[in-house]
Every structure is written in C-alpha cells, then in structure tokens.
Amino acid sequence: VYSLVKQNNRMAELERQTEALIKSNEELQAEIERLKHDQAYLEQVAREKYGLLKKNERVFDFSKDGD
C-alpha cells in the first residue's frame, strides 16, 4: 500500500513537471515565431540581449558605475 501511494505521488509530480515543460515549450515556440516574423522585435532582442549595433552606430554609456 505504501509503495502504491509513493508511486502515485511520483506520478503526480511527473505530470506537473510535464505540464510545466509543455508550457515552457509553447512559450519558446511563440518566441521563435515572433523572432522569425517581427523584424522590430528581432532588432530589439539583438540590441538588448546581445549588445549588437547597426553599421556605423555608436553607443555612449553615461552610467556612473565607475567603469
């Protein structure tokens, strides 16, 4: 009986993990589609996440963190 309860608990946990992975996969697929079809969003991600610049573009950093 204890083993059956333990297996049921494990099964429930695996189902929760599966649902979380499915949700994450759906979000990633939506992100991929947006990056494929939305040029402005692609540019925003390239700039913010990867620090990329357009040709002949410069960035001026006015932060006061001492660097």
Residue 17, token pair as written in the block: 């993990």
pLDDT tens per residue, range 2-13? 899 999 999 999
Torsion angles phi and psi, residue 22, rounded to 5: -65, -45
| Per-domain boundaries in the chain | 2-50
**What is the C-alpha separation between 45 and 63, in angstroms, rounded?**
21
pLDDT tens per residue, range 18-56? 999 999 999 999 999 999 999 999 999 999 999 999 999
Is residue 11 within 8 Å of 18, Cβ to Cβ?
Answer: no
- pLDDT at residue 64, as a whole number: 85
Is residue 44 within 8 Å of 38, Cβ to Cβ?
Answer: no
- pLDDT at residue 14, as a whole number: 99
pTM tops 0.75, yes or no: no
